[in-house]
Structure 1
Amino acid sequence: MPLTFAEDTASALPLHVVEAGALEGWAGAQGGTVQTWVKATGFSGGIGEVLLVPDANGAPFLAVAGYGTAAQRARGRFALAAVAEKLPDGVYRLDGDLSAVALEEEALGWLLAGYGFDRYRAQKVSGARLVAPEGVDARRVEIIAAGEALTRDLINTPASDMGPQELEDVARGLATEFGAAFDVIEGDDLLSRNFPMIHAVGRASPRAPRLIDMAWGESGPTLTLVGKGVCFDTGGLDIKPAASMGLMKKDMGGAATVLGLARMIMALGLPLRLRVLIPAVENSVAGNAFRPQDILTSRLGVTVEINNTDAEGRLVLADALTYGAEAEPDLMLSMATLTGAARVAVGPDISPFYVDDDAVAAAIHAAGVKVADPCWRMPFHAPYERMIEPGIADLDNAPSGGFAGSITAALFLRRFAGDVSRYTHFDIYGWQPAPAPARPKGGVGMGARAVLDALPEIMGL
C-alpha cells in the first residue's frame, strides 16, 4: 500500500469525524435516517469506533469516525489511524471541524496506518485511502511518511540482511536519489584515517566496519547528523544473555532514524547544508575482539578505558562526533539506541534528548508536542562528569554502579563534540513494543519529526 493520499476524489465516501460529546447534536442535524441508525447501532463516538450508514439500497453513503473526548485523545496519538485500520477498503474524504495541527497529525497517522513490513511475508494493512484534507500540505506529509517508512524498514530488517554493507547501500542510494556527495572509509583504512574506536568495535566481525559520510546542499546553515549504526550487538566479549540480544537488530536504530530524517530534509529541499555520518559496525565475538580493561585512544586523542564491551555505541559515535565537529557545524545532532537507562527513565514512547542550549531544547520540545512526536529534555549534569573519569585513562566507557546511565553516556559523547555549542544527543528506543494506531509492533522512528519541525526555528530557515 503506497503511503500517499488518494487522487480519486470523485468516488470518495464522506467520513464525518465526531467527538463523543457532540454525537447527539451531529446525528440530529443529519436527519431522521442517520439519527435512527446511530441509535440502533449503539455507536457512541469513542476513539476507533467506525459506523457506515447505508442508503436505501444498502450501500454506504457516509461513514462516521469516533473521535472520543479530548481527555481520551491526550492518552494516545493518531486517533483517526485507529479508524483507518477498521474501515473497508476504499477512498474517504474527511468531514469534521479539526484544527490545522490536528488535521496534519491525523493525515500523517492515516498514511502510516498503511505501513506494513512485507519483505519476508505479506502483511495485512489498511486499504482505506484518504483524500488529502483541505489545508494540509499533502506533499510534506507524504515525504514525512516516506522517511518514517524508511526508518521502520531499516530497523525491522534482520542483521542477516542489514549489516554495515547493506546500511551503506541504503545511504548510497539516498545520495544518488538526491544528488548528495558520498564517501565511505572501510576496514583497516579506518586506522590509517584515524578512526581507531570505530575500527576496534567492528574488527571482530567478518563484515568490515566503516564510516559512512554523506553531504548535501550548497548553501545555508550547516547541520550534521550522526547516527549509531551498530547493525547487531552481541555485547562483544561481555556477551549479552539471550533475552537481551533478541532485539539487537535494532541497535542501528539511530542510523535508521538519521537516514529517515535526512530523506525528509532532502526531499523537502530545506535551505541548509546537511551532513550525515554513520559509523556502521557489528559488535561481534572473536579472538581479535576488543577486551574489557583495554584502553583505546580515540580520534580526539582522548584515552578510553573499556570496562564493558557492551557499551560500544558511545565508542563508535565518539570518533564520528569528533570528525563532525572538525567542520564546526552550526548544529550537530546524534541519535542512538544507546542505553537501557533511558527506557527505564521515560519508557518506549518518549525520546529523551540532551542539549546545553535552552532555545534548542525549547524548540524541540514544542515541536514534539505539535507533531505528536514526544521528546523530553534530560540534563547534561556536570557533577556526574567524575563518574566517567576512571583515573587510569581519560574516560570510562561504562561507569560502575548503574546510576544515571543515560546521563553519563551523554556526558561521554559531549566530550567529543568539540566546540559545537548546540550539540544535541537523542537516546532513543526505536521500537514499538505493542501495536498502536499508526504504529505496528516493530521498528519506529523517534524524534525525527520533532527535529524536522524545529529546524526552521533553530537554524533560522
Structure 2
Amino acid sequence: MTMTFADPGAPSLPLHLLAEDTVDGWLSDQLEKVSSWATANGFSGKLGQILVIPGDGGAPACALAGYGNAKSRARGRFPCAGAWSKLPEGVWHIETGPDGAALEEVALGWLLAGYRFDRYTTKPKLKAQLKAPAGVDANRLEIIAAGEALTRDLINTPTSDMGPEQLESAFRDLADKHGATAEVIAGDALLDQNFPLIHTVGRASAQAPRLLDMRWGSTGPTLTLVGKGVCFDTGGLNLKPAASMGLMKKDMGGAATVLGLAHMIMALQLPLRLRVLVPAVENSVAGNAYRPQDVLTSRKGLTVEINNTDAEGRLVLADALALADEETPDCLISMATLTGAARVAVGPDIAPYYTDDQGISSALEAGAAAVADPVWRMPFHTPYEKMIEPNIADLDNAPKGGFAGSITAALFLRRFVDQSPRYTHFDIYGWQPTALPARTAGGVGQGARAVLAALPDILGL
C-alpha cells in the first residue's frame, strides 16, 4: 500500500485546493483557457470535486480540488481525501490550499486514503502520489500513518490468522523493530505468577492465554498503555447470537490501537519510558470454560462474581491494570472495545474516554481537535459504584438493569488502579462500518492520534 509521500525531487503537477468562496477570485487570475475550462465543467469548489486542467498536448497541466466551505468541512474529517482516487496517475504537489493544522489534516488524509487491506485479495491502489506540502512534518505524518496501518491490519485480520499466538508474534515484531524488550507469560504460568483472571477467560481456547509485556526507553516520565487483546469473543457460555458474534475478530481493537500508538511513540523517539501490556486471549466455549455465577479472585485480591461470561474484557484488563498500577506510572491509559453502551452513547465515530484528571482531559480535547481524532469525556460517576457491588463478592462483572453500561465498566476497571493518580480509560469501537474519506470500511484506530498529540502536555515532554 502507498502511505508515504512522493520523492521530494520528483517532477510533479500542481494541485489547487479551492474553497467555494475563493474559486472566482482564483480563476480571475488564470489564463482564459483555464477559467473557461473550469466554468464549462461546472467547477464550483464543492467539497470533493476534482477537475483536471489539460495542457496544450492534452496531458494534465494541473488539477483543481474542491475544498468546500466551513459547513461542509465540519460534516466530516479529512477534506478532499475521498476525491484523491479521481486524480490521474502521477506525482502532485499542493500549490494552493490551506495552511497550518488544516494542511496537515489534508496531507495525513492523503496518506490514510492509501490504506488497503490486501492480505487475502488484490485491491486497486491509489494511483496519485503527493509530495509532502511545505510546512508539514512529513516524517511525523508518515509515522502516524504507519501506526494507523498497523492498527487496521491487526483488527482486519480474522482470528484464524490473529489468535493470541499471532498477536504475540506481531507484538514481538514491533518490539524488535524498535529495540524494545518483550516478555510473555502464557498458559498455566499465568496462575503461577498471579494472573488468574486472564487465565480463566482464555483457558477454554485451543491457543493458551497470555500476557504480553513490552518496555522501551530509559529516561523521562513513565507511560503505560494497556490494550484489551480478546482475539475472538464468542460470549463464552453466555453465547452471543450470530449477529453479535460477526464482528468479534475486532475485539482485540484495544490491543491493536495501543500497538499502533506505541509504534508512533517509539518511531518518533519521544523522551519517555514506555510500557505496553496486552492480555491476549480467546473467549471460547469448552468443558473448562468459566461459568455464570462463578466467583473469581483477581491479581489484586478483589473477588468478582461472574454474572455474564460475555463481559470478559474487563476481567483480563483488571489483572493487567493491577500489574501496571504496581509501578505507579506517571500516566496509565487503557484502551478496549469494551461495551455496546458506549456505541449507543456516542456512535461509532467518537472515542469516549474516562479520567478524573482535568489536565489530561484538557490536553486530550485540544489534541483531538488538532489532529481530527474526535474524543468525548464520559464521567467516572462514583455514585454508581454500588451498581457493581453484588451480594457475595467485591465486584459484579455485569450489573443487571442495563443502565450506564459503559460507566459501570469503567468504574469496574478503576477499582484496579489505586496507586496511579493519572488513569484514563478509552472505550473505543475500532471499526468503520461504512467507508468514509481516509477510512476504508473495517478496522480503524481511535484515540491514538489524540493521545499522541496530548502527551507533551500530559507528561511535560
TM normalised by structure 2 equals 0.99
Q: Deviations over 1:147-192 (max 9, x none)?
A: 0000000000000000001000011011111111110000000001
Alignment of 1:195 with 2:195, yes or no, is yes
Q: Deviations over 1:376-409 (max 9, x none)?
A: 0000001100000012100000000100000000
**Residue aligned with 2:376, SS:** strand
**Contact 1:352–1:375 (8 Å) recurs in 2:** yes
Q: Which runs of 5+ in 1 are unaligned?
A: none
The match for 2:232 is: 232
The match for 2:119 is: 119
Structure-1 separation of matches of 2:24 and 2:252: 49
**Alpha-carbon shift at residue 127 of structure 1 (Å):** 1.7
**Contact 2:6–2:132 (8 Å) recurs in 1:** yes
The match for 1:266 is: 266
**Contact 2:16–2:97 (8 Å) recurs in 1:** no
**Residue aligned with 1:232, SS:** strand
Q: How does 1:145-184 map to 2 (within 5 A)?
A: 145-184=145-184
Q: Which runs of 5+ in 2 are unaligned?
A: none
The match for 2:366 is: 366
**Residue aligned with 2:320, SS:** helix
The match for 1:25 is: 25
**Residue aligned with 2:354, SS:** strand
Aligned-residue identity in percent: 68
The match for 2:48 is: 48
The match for 1:299 is: 299
Structure-1 separation of matches of 2:59 and 2:206: 60
Q: Deviations over 1:179-236 (max 9, x none)?
A: 1111000000000100000000000001000000000001000000000000000000
Stretch moving more, 7-16 or 137-146: 7-16
Structure-1 separation of matches of 2:404 and 2:94: 46
- Aligned-partner residue type, residue 152 of structure 1: R
Alignment of 1:401 with 2:401, yes or no, is yes
Structure-1 separation of matches of 2:48 and 2:221: 43
Q: How does 1:11-410 map to 2 (within 5 A)?
A: 11-410=11-410
**Alpha-carbon shift at residue 125 of structure 1 (Å):** 2.9
The match for 1:413 is: 413
- Aligned-partner residue type, residue 346 of structure 2: V
**Number of residue equivalences:** 461
Q: Deviations over 1:27-76 (max 9, x none)?
A: 11112111100111011111111000011211110100100001100010
**Contact 1:8–1:91 (8 Å) recurs in 2:** no
**Residue aligned with 1:67, SS:** strand
Alignment of 1:456 with 2:452, yes or no, is no
Stretch moving more, 207-216 or 412-421: 412-421
**Alpha-carbon shift at residue 8 of structure 1 (Å):** 5.3
**Alpha-carbon shift at residue 116 of structure 1 (Å):** 0.2
**Alpha-carbon shift at residue 312 of structure 1 (Å):** 0.1
**Contact 1:374–1:447 (8 Å) recurs in 2:** yes
**Contact 2:232–2:283 (8 Å) recurs in 1:** yes
**Residue aligned with 1:11, SS:** coil
**Contact 2:8–2:132 (8 Å) recurs in 1:** no
**Contact 1:9–1:91 (8 Å) recurs in 2:** no
**Alpha-carbon shift at residue 2 of structure 1 (Å):** 2.8
- Aligned-partner residue type, residue 412 of structure 2: F
**Residue aligned with 2:80, SS:** helix
**Residue aligned with 1:359, SS:** helix
Structure-1 separation of matches of 2:2 and 2:62: 24
Structure-1 separation of matches of 2:87 and 2:440: 17
- Aligned-partner residue type, residue 275 of structure 1: R
Structure-2 separation of matches of 1:205 and 1:265: 33
**Residue aligned with 2:281, SS:** strand
**Contact 2:93–2:131 (8 Å) recurs in 1:** yes
- Aligned-partner residue type, residue 271 of structure 2: P
Q: CA-atom RMSD, angstroms?
A: 0.8
Structure-2 separation of matches of 1:359 and 1:96: 37
**Residue aligned with 2:86, SS:** coil
